[in-house]
Each structure stands twice: as structure tokens, then as C-alpha cells.
Amino acid sequence: MKVSLRWLNEYIQVDLDPAVIADKLTMAGLEVDSVERLYDYLDQVVVARVTSTRKHPNADKLTCCVVDAGQGEDLEIVCGAPNVREGMTVACALVGAELPGEFKIKKNKIRGEVSRGMLCSGAELRLDADAAGILDLDSSLEVGTPLRKALNMSDWLFEIDLTPNRPDCLSAIGVAREIAAFAEVNATLTPPVYELPDERIDRSRAITDFARVDILDPDLCPRYSAGMLVDVKVGPSPMWLQQKLESVGLTPVNNVVDITNFVMLETGQPLHAFDYDFLAQGRIEVKKAGSPISFVTLDSKEHKLEPEMLMICDGERPVALAGVMGGENSEITDTTTRVLIESAHFNHISVRRTAKRTGIATDASHRFERGVDPEGTVNAMVRTMALIAETCGATIIDGLIDEYPKKHDPVEIDLDIRALNIRLGTDLTRDAIADILESVEFKVETSDMEGRLKVTAPSFRVDVQRPEDLSEEVARIWGYNNILTTFPEVPAKGKPVNSGITFRTQLRKALTGFGMTEAVNYSFISHESGDRIGLGEGDDRRLVQTILNPISEDMSVLRASLIPGLLETARRNISNQSDTLKLFEVGKVFFAKSTT
């Protein structure tokens, strides 16, 4: 999970150093793998002022500029922007700067004129979408100041390695909620407004006149919400949206698709946008495939689907692989004008099985596999529709469809305060525990029984099911470092060491003290070893146990004497010109009950 500090600040204002936030998140169970500063490339772009201009002698559309970039000498820069003028305050990329897209600035000649730098547009710096002209900065900015500092573009990116039981933190709001819980001052989480803009709603048309949703497999799809927009203008996303997606590694596609991805990253609820004009009969049916079929997904790949896989179908055919990926036959294109938004809750086991068998891994399936908030579908859909209406100039069709055949039952847990303190080794009061749990949005009520609390887990915490889970919540928010190390009060009773072990230890010390070297040989020897060392026919050391599946002929029996192994060790050493040997071995020998 990746999220930037500036993005988090949209939901919670905390004045903490990024390194402190990373440490506290890690100690709270959200391990931060890395903290990266964004917009580093703006350090090589400075505020500059155009001191003079002249027409390029060899090109009508180019201008030769003399620029003061605070480098101790004026720079000659050739610029093709139509809005460049004398006295203009601009963003100047110095020679050696590397701009987004791995574009490196070099000193070169443009139509015979030397250019030592580049005057940049907002699009080239990924600050806005305007590529028609260079940035016209505030004239009060000091020449030579790095643009990151001048525009206050400082931001940090956190990469968090989440455990599978914390799907609630696969969202910016989820991470902000965690930060609010451990903030040293009272920090209030401010989620976005989940309201549709009234001025964009067409009250004369209802969604039920256009669409219908039927859930035929409620066990696999407990909830399916849908909304509709018309007069949608598909195009590039605004720069703020592109920047957010790019900061976490997503590639912008178009405004509609980008908004669904943005809301998923913000709330943790995956969404999908259908081109309504490609939905036969305006119907959505959520059902199993029923028979082996082929289906082409958004990435233009054909997949063989199994009968048990859950599909989203229209009145005639499948249009999406539920919780995994949409179909190519209903994707958003540049000509799309009517959009149906899906926000659903799918069974995590079903999605995991489908994703694994098809080999498709998406951000949506990653979240559904771990469990999403069953109560969050409508809020996420409303947020999506409001943004599409604002960004794409769309009109919202009145009403929402919300099929909810299997409603979520809140998890209620009876928490024993004494048992929690014994489990954690703490001495927290009931009020302190209640405050800790309420800080991460658990509902806490006083129980009729002394020393107990009634705790209701929020719907987004699908991992909390029992008192032990609440103990973990208290421990990580209270702080593992605050839990003192304690030892059992039961005295440890030592057991006397076996006399044989003591004797062998003393023997080793004595022999090594005499300058001897201990050898450690295999317990397997050759069956001819008795003959090689001249043992008599009646010697007990000939009663060896044969190995059923020996490694080799020289390791075919268990040793009844340590001498063959020591002699073999001596032979190998002598063959390597080591003829001053003092060896001993302490080990086990084995005797067969009979030779048969």
C-alpha cells in the first residue's frame, strides 16, 4: 500500500515528522518499508527571470532568451513557448536536471543558437495539464530558489507492507485513521463528503427506468449497489488526479476510470464503470458462469472460465469477472456518454479462487480477497458519482440501486478487562481501554457485569471476531514498548545433568588439553571393517546392523567400533601429507541382536 503524506493530510492534520509517522505506524502493526520524498526533481528546477528576448534568427516560432536563474551568470535559453516575454518569472530547468519521463536537460544548439537550460510548462513538470505555454510564476518569488521550496511542493510517500488481516488499511482513509489513533494531540479524522451535488441530479429520470439488478447467488454477492450518469465527457483526468495516481504507481487512463481507481485507493472499496450502451436490456445479473465459457477481459486476454466462477452478466452475456476484472465488451471508451457504476461486496473466498485459477491479480481482487467493508458500498459509489459529475460534466440520474439480500451482522464481543490485562501484562483501567478502542472507531458500552465491556467492531474491521483480537488492538495502540517485561513467578527448578554427559564433557576437555583433536565420523562403515582391523570371529564387534538402503558399499553397516572411522580419518590425513596426528572420538556404537 502506497500513500503520500499530503494525501493523508486531506483527512487528518498531524504535525509529525515523516520518520516519526513511519515508526509509529510500524509499531502499530503497519510496517513501513520505505519513506520516499516526492518532487525531488524540482530541486533542479529554479525560479528565474527573463531579462531580455529576441527572435530566433533561424526559426519563426522560437525565441532566444537571456535568463537570470541566480547562478552567478545569465543563461542563454531557446524557448518555443508563445507566452514568453521580457520580465516574466519562470521555472528554469538547469543543465543536468532530469524531468519526469527520464528527460535530461543538456547544453545544446537549437537551429544554431546555444541553449543552456529549459523554460518549463506546468505539464512538463507534472504540476498541471497546461502544455500550451511556460509557467508564469509570481514575480515576488526569489530568483534562484528551487521550485520545490518556492511552491511548497514538499511531500513524502509511505510504502506500507500490510498483513493480510488488515484490509481496512488498503486505503488512504484507513491509514489516516491509524495515525489519528496514535497522534499525541487529539486528531480528528475528516472523511470526504458522501453527498451527490443536487444541481447535477436529473429528478425527471429515475435509475429504475434504465437499469435493473438481480443477485442470483447472494452467498457469493451479499450486496450490489449501482448508480448511473449520462452526458459523460470522457477525456484526460485533471492534473491533481493524475498526480495522486502516479504517486502510488498507477497509470492514468481517462477521467472516468481514474476516478474509480482514486476512490478505491481513498476508501478501500473497489468500483467498476460500465458503458451502459453496451449492457443488453440494461440488466445486471450476478450469477455463476454455470458452464465452461471463454471471456475476454479488459487487458484483451481470453480466459477459460469454470462453472463455479461468479460473473456479472447483462441480459445476454457476461460483462465482468466479479471482483477481479471487467470485460472488454463493456469498457469505457472515448465515445462513452452513459455510465453505470458498480460498487459491490463479493465473497472473499470466491474472488480469491477465481483470481488464482485465472491468473489475474488486480488491485480490486487484492482488496476483495482480504475482505472489504460491506457497509461501504453506497458511500464509495456516491463519492465516485459526485466526482464524475464534477470532472466529466455529467448528469446524475435520480436514485440508486442497492440490492442487499444478506445484510451484515455487527460483531459484538464481551470483553473481560481482567483477562485482557493478564494476557498483555498491563494494568489498564476500563476507561483507558474504552478510549483506546474508540480511537479506532470501535463502539464501546459499559456492561452490566463488573469489569466487562460490550464492544462492537466497525464493519470495516472484518478481522476482529473475538476478545483476543481486541487485546491485540489495545496492545498495538497503547504501544508494545509501553508493556513492561515480566517473568513467571514460579521458580525454575534445575534438573541434574546426566552423569554420562558430564563424563563425556570432562573426557573431551582432558583429551583436547593433551593436544589431541576430536574427530566426528559417520556412524556408517564398511561391512569389511571387522576383517580390516583383525577382529576375531567371536568378537561382539562383528555383530553389526546392516543398512537396508546404504549410500555406498563403504557405508553399508552401522559401526560397532569407533576404530575403523578413526583409522580411515588418519589414512585421509596421511595421504594429504599430514602425518602428525593425535585423534580421538567420542560417539555411539551399535550392536545387532543377531547376524541374520
Q: CA–CA separation, 385 vs 173, rounded Å? A: 19
Same domain, 236 and 364: yes
488 occurs within a structural domain: no
Q: Is 246 helix (H, G, I), strand (E, B) or coil?
A: helix
Radius of gyration of the chain (CA): 36
Same domain, 123 and 104: yes
Q: CA–CA separation, 346 vs 126, rounded Å? A: 37
pLDDT at 511: 94
452 occurs within a structural domain: yes
Q: CA–CA separation, 281 vs 315, rounded Å? A: 5
Element (H, E) at 283: strand 283-288
Q: CA–CA separation, 4 vs 151, rounded Å? A: 17
Give backbone dihedrals phi and psi of 570, rounded to 5 degrees, phi first. Answer: -65, -40
**CA 495, chain centre distance (Å):** 49
85 occurs within a structural domain: yes
Q: CA–CA separation, 434 vs 455, rounded Å? A: 9
Same domain, 305 and 421: no
Q: Is 516 helix (H, G, I), strand (E, B) or coil?
A: coil
Same domain, 535 and 420: no
Q: CA–CA separation, 106 vs 19, rounded Å? A: 35
Q: At what angle do helices 430-439 and 467-478 cross, to 10 degrees?
A: 80
Runs of H (alpha helix) within 189-285? 239-247, 255-267
Q: CA–CA separation, 470 vs 457, rounded Å? A: 9
Contact 205, 399 (CB under 8 A): no
- With CA atoms as reference, report the closest residue to 178 among 476, 465, 412, 543: 476
Residue 530 sits in a domain whose CATH number is: 3.30.930.10
**CA 86, chain centre distance (Å):** 49
65 occurs within a structural domain: yes
Residue 333 sits in a domain whose CATH number is: 3.50.40.10
Query: What residues contact residue 9 under an 8 Å CB cut-off, 6+ apart?
Result: none
Sign of the torsion formed by the C-alpha atoms of 24, 26, 29 and 31? positive
What is the tens place of the pLDDT at every residue in 403-438?
A: 999 999 999 999 999 999 999 989 999 999 999 999
9 occurs within a structural domain: yes
Domain total in the chain: 5
What is the tens place of the pLDDT at every residue in 261-291?
A: 999 999 999 999 999 999 999 999 999 999 9
Q: At what angle do helices 18-27 and 172-182 cross, to 10 degrees?
A: 90
Domain that holds residue 461: 412-482
Query: Cell numbers 503520500 correspond to what residue?
Result: 4
Query: What residues contact residue 407 under an 8 Å CB cut-off, 6+ apart?
Result: 222
Q: CA–CA separation, 344 vs 402, rounded Å? A: 9
Same domain, 275 and 373: yes
Q: CA–CA separation, 444 vs 430, rounded Å? A: 11
Mean pLDDT by 10 residues, the chain (596 residues): 91 88 91 90 92 92 94 92 93 92 90 93 83 89 92 88 92 93 76 92 95 95 96 92 88 94 96 96 94 93 94 94 94 95 96 94 95 95 96 95 94 94 91 92 88 94 94 92 80 80 93 93 91 87 88 90 92 88 92 68
Same domain, 313 and 335: yes
Residue 28 sits in a domain whose CATH number is: 3.30.56.10
191 occurs within a structural domain: no
Contact 25, 179 (CB under 8 A): yes
Residue 518's DSSP bridge partners are: 584
User: Residue 74: left (phi > 0), alpha (psi -120 to 50), or beta?
Assistant: beta
Same domain, 238 and 266: yes
Give backbone dihedrals phi and psi of 326, rounded to 5 degrees, phi first. Answer: -75, 175
544 occurs within a structural domain: yes
* Extended beta strands in 310-382, E state: 310-313, 318-321, 325-326, 339-345
Same domain, 573 and 510: yes
Same domain, 475 and 519: no
Q: CA–CA separation, 61 vs 8, rounded Å? A: 44
Q: Is 424 helix (H, G, I), strand (E, B) or coil?
A: helix
Joined together, the cell numbers standing for residue 331 give 469498457
Residue 138 sits in a domain whose CATH number is: 2.40.50.140
pLDDT at 596: 47
* Domain end residue (candidates: 423, 449, 482): 482
Q: CA–CA separation, 3 vs 244, rounded Å? A: 9
**What is the 3-state secondary structure of 118-157?**
EECECCCCCCCCCCCCECCCCCCCCCCCEHHHHCCCCEEE
Same domain, 376 and 238: yes
Instruction: DSSP for 15-74, please give it.
Output: ---HHHHHHHHHHTT-EEEEEEEE-GGGGGEEEEEEEEEEE-TT-TT-EEEEEE-SSSS-
Same domain, 208 and 166: no
pLDDT at 580: 86
Same domain, 177 and 244: no
Beta-strand pair 283-288/212-215: parallel
Q: CA–CA separation, 343 vs 260, rounded Å? A: 10
Angstrom CA distances, 521 to 43, 114, 175, 293, 561, stand at 66, 79, 58, 63, 12
Give backbone dihedrals phi and psi of 60, rounded to 5 degrees, phi first. Answer: -70, -30
Contact 396, 236 (CB under 8 A): no
Contact 359, 314 (CB under 8 A): no
Q: CA–CA separation, 138 vs 286, rounded Å? A: 55
490 occurs within a structural domain: no
